[in-house]
Amino acid sequence: MIDRQRIYAVNATASLLGLEPGMDPASARALAGETPLQLLPRDPDMESKALESLCCWAYGITPHLYPFRDDCLMLEIGGSLKLFGGSDAILRHCRKGLAGRGYSADMALGITPLAAWSFSHISSDGNSSKGCCEREQLEKLPLRTLEPLHEQFIALQRGGFTTLGEILALPGASLSRRCGSQFRELLQHLSGEVVPPPVHFEPPSCFADSYPLGYPVRNHDELGPALEQLLTSLEDYLRQRQLQTRQIIWHFSGLNNYRESLSVRTSEARAPRQDWYRLTRLRLERQPFAQEVELVQLHADQLESAQPTSGDLFRQAGQSTSSSQLVDLLSNRLGAQAVNSLHYRDAHLPEHSSTKAPSGTTNTPCPKNTAQRPFWLLSEPELLRHDGQQLWFWGSQLELIYGPERIEDGWWERSTSRDYFVARNTQGQRFWVFHERRQQRWFMQGFFA
């Protein structure tokens, strides 16, 4: 990676060839020889987004964190020691989490943020815990390590100073006159004489994260690690903010501005990554890629407060899928328009009081006064045979046992007036029938369970 015509960072293969940061591109090509060498321009915007993503991940460790110098993450872990069981456990958790996201990091502990940053640069083992909290180790810091913090460290080395302890031993007043008050304040923050207030990190209002694959992918099975990693980040984000979501949106990008989007919806707000992973794989089966993809992005902006849920007391061990999960599985496999649910509609006539709508849409609250309403309504009322004072249905005589209940509607176009009754046949089955007052005819409306 190059920045301002200089090598900014190299991978392990380039390092073995002798390439190192600060080298000019011509020298790098000369050292590489016939080995293929790819020089990529530095992308500060992408680095900033990656650091913001790491801040969201580290928010599960401590709320007091902030990015530093565009390539560092400062975490105040004093309040999290008891939760994780000590600083060593926190460091192990950080290494595991960063490795799972594809990062390697130099980590260290310090009495101040600047001390921890300095200790992270003086060990040759980037996978070990560097530094300690003792002031003696701070005083032994070489000034060359602190050069990126202030230009005065370079001037002091020219004057013969080599360690931070030699600088801290100088009188503060004379040091301020020679190097400036800003440099003096930097030393106070570095040594712990002045403790800065903790910085509280505020996660973004919407979730967004990305996973660069590093190579072209067209087979859905190869996307498994990327999907799991991004969904794990989403689950952590939702758990930390006590949120849930009903929709996630995937974006798959490739060469030549190729972009494919995939929306996954559920009928109820969810947070577990296992549910979203299973539904995403079902959607991918129905939507193959037209080209190879190299970047996977995940967005979730329709967030709502998490509601406590309880399990089903009578669910058997083998019945692990709820009705809402079954609806989500069918909707994502067959398509949202293929799975519908019955919704209440504000209408007086029973045959017009319900309608079907795609699953997951908000249903109108049903009125409370629904006494003596059957479970099964016919799509259209069926005419009954009326013989004098007797009603007949399917060859069986009906007896009216409850009613009447008058329902009137349609006065603005075609007035309807009905008297509803609950009827029972000779076998004990109950029905919902009505008498059309204007036509003087009887109809069957529905069946009771």
| 60 and 142, same domain (yes or no) | yes
Q: What is the pTM of this model?
A: 0.66
Q: Contact 204/25 with Cβ under 8 angstroms?
A: no
Residue 388 lies in a domain: yes
pLDDT > 80? residue 50:
yes
Range in 128-132, 162-166, 373-377, 429-433 with the lowest mean pLDDT: 128-132
**Using CA atoms, how far apart are residues 303 and 245, in angstroms rounded to an integer?**
5
**According to the model, what pLDDT value does residue 315 have?**
52
| 127 and 218, same domain (yes or no) | no
- For the CA atoms of 307, 312, 318, 320, the dihedral, rounded to the nearest 10 degrees, stands at -10
Residue 57 lies in a domain: yes
**According to the model, what pLDDT value does residue 348 have?**
76
pLDDT tens, residue by residue, 286-325: 888 888 898 999 999 989 888 766 555 555 544 455 667 7
| 174 and 89, same domain (yes or no) | yes
**According to the model, what pLDDT value does residue 395 have?**
86
| 76 and 151, same domain (yes or no) | yes
| 8 and 51, same domain (yes or no) | no
**Using CA atoms, how far apart are residues 356 and 27, in angstroms rounded to an integer?**
70
Highest mean pLDDT among 122-126, 128-132, 144-148: 144-148
Residue 339 lies in a domain: no
Residue 342 lies in a domain: no
| 50 and 176, same domain (yes or no) | yes
**According to the model, what pLDDT value does residue 207 have?**
92
Cα three-residue angle 286-226-290, rounded to 5 degrees: 40
**According to the model, what pLDDT value does residue 321 have?**
57
**Using CA atoms, how far apart are residues 147 and 156, in angstroms rounded to an integer?**
10
pLDDT tens, residue by residue, 384-411: 998 878 899 988 999 999 989 888 887 7
**Using CA atoms, how far apart are residues 219 and 247, in angstroms rounded to an integer?**
24
Mean pLDDT score, 364-388: 78
Its sign, for the CA torsion 432, 438, 442, 443, is negative
Cα three-residue angle 337-339-345, rounded to 5 degrees: 90
| 143 and 161, same domain (yes or no) | yes
pLDDT band for 37, please (50, 70, 90 cuts).
confident
pLDDT band for 86, please (50, 70, 90 cuts).
very high
**According to the model, what pLDDT value does residue 132 have?**
46
* DSSP-derived pairing of the beta strands 243-253 and 107-108: unpaired
Residue 353 lies in a domain: no
**According to the model, what pLDDT value does residue 360 have?**
61
| 49 and 186, same domain (yes or no) | yes
Choose between 363 and 71: higher pLDDT: 71
Residue 110 lies in a domain: yes
Domain closes at, from 191, 216, 238: 191
Query: Is cis: bond before 148, omega within 30 of 0?
Result: no
Q: Contact 91/129 with Cβ under 8 angstroms?
A: yes
Whole-angstrom CA distances from 53 to 95, 212, 362 are: 16, 13, 33
Non-local (6+) Cβ contacts of 136 within 8 A are none
**According to the model, what pLDDT value does residue 130 have?**
44
| 22 and 34, same domain (yes or no) | yes
**According to the model, what pLDDT value does residue 127 have?**
39
**Using CA atoms, how far apart are residues 234 and 380, in angstroms rounded to an integer?**
48
Whole-angstrom CA distances from 258 to 50, 94, 289, 427 are: 22, 35, 10, 67
Q: Which of 94, 89, 99 is nearest to 120 (CA)?
A: 94
SS3 of 218, please? coil
pLDDT tens, residue by residue, 190-223: 888 888 787 888 888 899 988 888 788 888 888 9
Domain closes at, from 258, 278, 305: 305
Q: Return the exposure string of 288-302: e unless at least 16 CB atoms fall within 10 Å of the residue's CB, then b.
A: ebeeebbbbbbbbee
Domain that holds residue 397: 376-447
pLDDT tens, residue by residue, 236-245: 899 888 899 9
| 49 and 187, same domain (yes or no) | yes
Cα three-residue angle 47-50-51, rounded to 5 degrees: 85
Give the chain's domain count: 4
Residue 364 lies in a domain: no
Residue 114 lies in a domain: yes
Domain closes at, from 305, 320, 350: 305
Whole-angstrom CA distances from 114 to 72, 73, 138, 299 are: 11, 11, 10, 34
pLDDT tens, residue by residue, 262-279: 999 887 777 788 889 989
| 143 and 12, same domain (yes or no) | no
| CATH code of the domain containing 220 | 3.30.1490.100
Range in 40-49, 143-152, 316-325, 334-343 with the lowest mean pLDDT: 316-325
Q: Can you list the alpha helix ranges (DSSP code H) found in 302-397?
A: 323-334
| 134 and 249, same domain (yes or no) | no
* DSSP-derived pairing of the beta strands 376-383 and 441-447: antiparallel
Please report where in the chains the tokens 């595991």 appear, as a residue. Answer: 96
pLDDT tens, residue by residue, 126-143: 333 444 446 788 888 899
**According to the model, what pLDDT value does residue 414 have?**
73
Q: Which of 339, 434, 323 is nearest to 378 (CA)?
A: 434
